[in-house]
Structure 1
Amino acid sequence: MRSFSICTQVLRDRVRLSPSLLLFSRMSSSSSKSLTKFVVYAPDKEGTLDLRYQVRQRHLDGIVPTVKSGVMKLGGMMVDPESDVNLPQKKAIGSLVIYEAESVEQVKRMVETDIYYTSGVWDQEKLVICPFFAATPWP
């Protein structure tokens, strides 16, 4: 099973990175422990909607410490744009999360222990973690 893509120098051969991301990777590996924001795009595997809702409470309970610590800045479910968003059980197609952490490896460890990852809700081969630099003021 192929692991998910990480935008970092370590896996640059497996992910097409822009020169600026490669520069970031070199800088981040040699610099002191500063915090960087990382975006995680975690699409669901096809046919896992029922499983997502079965393990959802465990997922929400599991992220509480990460949210309380301030490491998880933003997280949520992406919904099929053609589905009725007013229904209580929306047609989820994946998750989007923004972490603030010391390294991509720290974020990878958090993602790999999430029930959505371990139960097979998220498509591990399509999941992406990349450094994120906001162009607008951070809310």
Structure 2
Amino acid sequence: MTKYVMWGSYCENAIEKRTPYRQVHLDGLAAQKEQGLLITLGPTQDNTMVFGIYEAENEDQVRELIEGDPYWKNGIWTEYEIKEWIQAF
């Protein structure tokens, strides 16, 4: 499987706006981690950006995971970019 990095942006006031979707979001991430698809994911200290590392069959699978997340569906994440990653060490 290939590793991918994801950088994305949060909406304004993301901490307040995410509240209704937070538990479903976290549960989904836990399921992805259990399946071996998600390596890590989290916000920057200032809560303006999100960073994640995935291990997936292809980029389309990563896009499906991101776009299926309640944060994407409800506008908490406003944009994202995926790049194939080569883990040097």
CA RMSD of aligned residues (A): 1.3
Aligned length: 89
The TM-score normalised by the length of structure 2 is 0.89
Unmatched 5+ stretches in structure 1 = 1-34, 81-91
Residues 60-119 of structure 1: per-residue CA shift (max 9 Å, x gap): 011222100111011112121xxxxxxxxxxx2232110001100000001000011001
Match of 2:58 in 1: 103
Larger Rg: 1
1:39 aligns with 2:5: yes
1:54 aligns with 2:9: no
Q: Partners in 2 of 1:52 and 1:41 — Cα distance? A: 18
Distance of aligned partners of 1:79 and 1:53 in 2 relative to their CA distance in 1, 3 Å threshold: farther
Letter in structure 2 aligned against 1:74: T
Match of 1:116 in 2: 71
**Larger fraction in strand:** 2
The TM-score normalised by the length of structure 1 is 0.59
- SS for the counterpart of 2:50 is strand
Q: Partners in 2 of 1:43 and 1:79 — Cα distance? A: 13
